[in-house]
Amino acid sequence: MAERTVNVGWPEGLHARPASVFVRAAGAVGVPVTIARTGGTPVNAASMLALLGLGAEAGDEVVLASDAEGADSALDRLAKLVGEGLDELPPA
């Protein structure tokens, strides 16, 4: 299983607008991805409700994971999005 650990870069954490950006990006990478706070239970990264339930704040460490083919590239892109607090998914 491929994993990336990253600190949330959005000042408002994974709430409202950043959560919406992340959920769209997670759905767009083409592989199933989970996200969890470090030590927490992984949830579907493409689910807005599940993501908001994490309660991840700015600076919190989260773990992105996937065991699908092509996961490394997808996780790299999502990790950059989260870590840098970007408004859109970086190019492949």
Residue type, 21: V
Active site residue 15: yes
Indicate which residue of 2, 3, 9, 15 is catalytic: 15
Residues assigned a catalytic role:
15
